[in-house]
Amino acid sequence: MWSETKKQELLRRFGKLYPDPKSELTFSNDFELVVSVILSAQCTDKKVNEVTPSLFRAYPNFKRLSEAEIAELEKIIRPINYYRTKARNLIRMAQSVREEFRGKLPQTREGLSSLHGIGRKTASVILSEKNIEPAFPVDTHVFRVSRRLKLARSKVRDKVEEQVKKQFEPPRWRELHHWLIFHGRRICKAQRPLCEECALSDLCASSTSKNS
Ligand code: SF4
């Protein structure tokens, strides 16, 4: 467990490093948010942002997406990992939103989780992005960086979520989630963490920096 002083120092440094912690996905409404988040599973935000402009031109809302021809949709999202499964999930998700939620994206964890292609992490991202409730979604970067920093020790994603959440107040979860992602993408990379350049190296038990 981190001491209170060390945790506050971590938050202070993250705030300095990444002053604008927010999603790097491009979206402007609930429809675009849910579609982008579903596409972003096991795929970079950059790739998703390259595909969504043409996707949203062809299918601008739940109604149009629910009526999409799967082959046409697959053609547009082909550069995205697992595009076939995601195309199927997107159409089914849009159909459920129309049939069960009168065409509006549900605003509860239960409602979101009932939709195709939406698991715990995806629901958490949406709840957090929309400020509906505090959530701490654990993606591959959050998982890796939390464990390297020893904010969590479990090898199970849900446990990592639990262990990190326990140590911080709910209003800090959203920014901490984004900070861990930013840090994982830029510095604490999967294959070769850049510990020598890392501003957290003196706080990190996994640091290989000679200065830490
Ligand atoms: S010191 Fe190294 S392992 Fe620790 S957070 Fe920084 S890059 Fe990651």
- How far does residue 184's CA lie from ligand 1's centre (Å)? 9
Place of tokens 């020598």: 196
Does one domain contain both 125 and 140? Answer: no
Q: What is the pLDDT of residues 137-150, one digit of tens each?
A: 999 999 999 999 99
3-state secondary structure 2-47: CCHHHHHHHHHHHHHHCCCCCCCCCCCCHHHHHHHHHHCCCCCHHH
139 in catalytic set:
yes
In 3D space, the residue among 12, 4, 31, 21 whose CA is nearest the CA of residue 142 turns out to be 21
CATH of residue 94's domain is 1.10.340.30
- Distance (Å, whole) CA 208 – CA 108: 42
Q: Is 207 in the pocket of ligand 1 (CB under 6 A)?
A: yes
110 falls within a domain: yes
- Residue of 148, 176, 211, 212 best suited for mutating to test ligand 1, as the one with most atoms within 8 Å of CB: 148
155 falls within a domain: yes
Cβ atoms < 10 Å from Cβ of 203: 17
Q: Of the candidates 100, 129, 158, which is a domain's last residue?
A: 129
* Mean pLDDT over the full length of the chain: 96
**Dihedral Cα 189, 38, 104, 50, nearest 10 deg:** 80
| pLDDT, tens digit, 9 for 90 and up, residues 167-195 | 999 999 999 999 999 999 999 999 999 99
Answer yes or no: are the C-beta atoms of 39 and 98 closer than 8 Å: no
Residues 51 and 122 grouped into a single domain: yes
Q: What is the pLDDT of residue 16?
A: 98
Residue 51: closest CA among 32, 78, 90, 86:
78
The last residue of one of the domains, among 67, 98, 129, is 129
The encoded tokens of residue 104 equal 């509006």
Residues 60 and 85 in one domain: yes
In a domain, residue 71? The reply is yes
What is the C-alpha R_g of the chain? 18
* CA of 102 relative to ligand 1 center, distance in Å: 46
Give the number of the atom of ligand 1 that is nearest the alpha carbon of residue 204. 4
- For the four alpha carbons of 141, 143, 145 and 146, in that order, the dihedral sign comes to positive
| 97 & 120 share domain | yes
- Contact between 66 and 45 (Cβ < 8 Å): no
Same domain for 120 and 149, yes or no, is no
Which candidate, 44, 96, 53, places its Cα nearest to that of 76? 53
Contact predicate 212/205, CB 8 Å: no
**Lookup: tokens for 164:** 């990190």
Q: Which domain holds residue 107?
A: 30-129
Instruction: Provide the pLDDT for residue 141.
Output: 96
Residue in 182, 201, 202 to alter for ligand 1 test, most ligand atoms within 8 A of Cβ:
201
Final residue belonging to a domain, choices 129, 155, 180: 129
Q: In this model, does residue 212 exceed pLDDT 70?
A: no
Residue 93's pLDDT is 98
Q: What local confidence, expressed as pLDDT, does residue 193 receive?
A: 97
pLDDT band for position 1 (50/70/90)? confident
Are residues 78 and 164 part of one domain?
no
Asked whether 195 lines ligand 1 (CB < 6 A), one says yes
Residues 14-72: tens digit of each pLDDT: 999 999 999 999 999 999 999 999 999 989 999 999 999 999 999 999 999 999 999 99
Residues 123 and 147 grouped into a single domain: no
Catalytic residue (one of 7, 30, 86, 121): 121
* pLDDT band with cut points at 50, 70 and 90 for residue 209: confident
